[in-house]
Amino acid sequence: METDLADLGFWRRPLKERHEAFSRLRDLDRPVFFEEKRVPLLRSGKGFYALVRHADVVEAGRNAKVFSSRPGVTSPEPPGWVKHVFGESMVNMDDPRHARLRRIVSRAFSPKMLTGLQDGIDAACARIVDDVLTAGAGDFVGQVASRLPIHVICDMMGIPEAMRAKVHEHVDVSTAYSGIRPSLTQTVRMAARNTRALFALQRLVIELGRERAATPRGDLVSALVTANVDGERLTDRELGSFFALLLVAGNETARNTMAHGIKLLTDNPDQRRLLVEDFDARIGGAIEEMVRHVSPIMQFRRTVTEDYDLRGLRLKAGDKVVLFYGSANRDREVFPDPDRFDITRDTKPHVGFGGPGPHFCLGANLARQEIRTMFRELFTRLPEIRSLGEPELLVSNFDNSVRRQGFTF
């Protein structure tokens, strides 16, 4: 069967078929070039080389000077007007601008900040399970996995309780937009909804930031608008862009790892048994194996800034490459029997959080903390919890998102 990673039809194929296609690509001597077609409302791509081996993805991730995140990391690339309307996201920046912003916002993920969040995460997980016990089982995504990350991020930022339902709605709209649209009409409609949602998120936090600048509190918005790192602080647009990125990226990583994770543990009862037998000793490895197996963000694009040799391939300045994290995480040169789910595996080199380099996920430890706490609460209070049926996945070439997953307890 023909493999064309630039054809959106490829991403509608069953997951097993896609994994098999990537396995065949990894066996080739050099990265393969894929021609892109014009996508309505987005850029007309020149095509890209697919980096599918672990070593190639790691090399490109580490060398940000040659493999630039500008003008955009998604496929297709965003049109130029996006950054002028919404501001430029950190994921689409290179140093020194990227380093400047990362220095300022990294305080949100310091060990001290994460330790301070633990009581709130504990309480949120307890409330979520209380609600499951009251309402009964149904959809694991809606009742469990999607609720915790949004709650934690809103708590961090100091978003008032009355605004949180709207925040959740805007995030769901933004997530849906990363999926594949079958028609121009649907693309236009979803683009309009996504634009409104992003504007609303940015406007909310910018207004809150102005309040906190005048009257700081103990939340992250206060810390960011009053931060002074080497004489610099976030502008309104930078604060808005960071909030949108934190909500979408932070929510998706933890949410989808939990949603895929409950399915993996159900389908692999031996691994579930190992985890429950010694939760504290094995949950760390279980989380890393879930992230490796799932690869919540499946790919990022880079633009080559200068001529460069990569595994016998001569790349030219201006060429595009796409780092396929989901493929790299199943490279048998690094992970023996890579399709097997094994919580005792050494998963240290996985690239599920973006791999090494300046764009490694800032929120990785927060996601780990949320997943650990949620599964502890679930297996303590709902020891028979398990998934039911197959997950309903978002059809996307970017986001390995679970839209719905049945469960029972």
- 67 φ/ψ angles, rounded to the nearest 5 degrees: -105, 90
Query: What amino acid is encoded at 171 in this protein?
Result: V
Q: pLDDT band at residue 183, thresholds of 50, 70 and 90? A: low
CA distance 241 to 367: 20
Average pLDDT, the chain: 87
Q: Is the pLDDT of residue 228 over 70?
A: no
Q: For residues 235 and 105, is the Cβ–Cβ distance under 8 A?
A: no
Q: For residues 408 and 388, is the Cβ–Cβ distance under 8 A?
A: yes
Q: pLDDT at position 406, please?
A: 98
**pTM of structure:** 0.89
Domains of the chain: 8-330+355-408 (1.10.630.10)
Q: What token pair was written down for 258?
A: 């939990």
Q: Is the pLDDT of residue 369 over 90?
A: yes
Distance of CA 49 to the CA centre of its chain: 22
The 10 Å Cβ neighbour count of residue 215 is 7
Q: pLDDT band at residue 45, thresholds of 50, 70 and 90? A: low
Q: pLDDT at position 385, please?
A: 98
Torsion of CA 105, 110, 115, 119, to 10 degrees: 10
Q: pLDDT band at residue 224, thresholds of 50, 70 and 90? A: confident
Choose the weakest-confidence range: 160-174, 265-279, 382-396: 160-174
In the block, tokens 């300022």 appear at: 104
If residue 309 lies in a helix (H) or strand (E), which one and from where to where? Answer: strand 308-310
Coil/strand/helix, residue 364 = helix
CA distance 20 to 78: 29
Q: Is the pLDDT of residue 362 over 60?
A: yes
pLDDT tens figures, 63-88 = 999 999 988 888 766 666 555 455 56
Best CA proximity match to 285, nearest among 381, 337, 350:
350
pLDDT cut 90: percent of the chain above it:
54
**Mean pLDDT along residues 352-362:** 89
Expressed in percent and rounded to 5, the helix, strand and coil fractions of the chain are 55, 10, 35
Coil/strand/helix, residue 403 = strand
Q: pLDDT at position 37, please?
A: 76
Q: What token pair was written down for 161?
A: 């309780």
Q: pLDDT at position 355, please?
A: 85
Distance of CA 193 to the CA centre of its chain: 21
Q: What token pair was written down for 96?
A: 């020194």
Distance of CA 102 to the CA centre of its chain: 17
Distance of CA 204 to the CA centre of its chain: 22
Q: pLDDT at position 275, please?
A: 98
Q: pLDDT band at residue 353, thresholds of 50, 70 and 90? A: very high
CA distance 288 to 283: 9
CA distance 208 to 199: 14
62 or 203, which is more confident?
A: 62
Q: Which segment, 4-8, 97-101, 112-116, 322-326, is predicted with the most confidence on average?
A: 322-326
Coil/strand/helix, residue 380 = helix
pLDDT cut 70: percent of the chain above it:
88
Q: Is the pLDDT of residue 41 over 80?
A: no
In the block, tokens 């995030």 appear at: 171
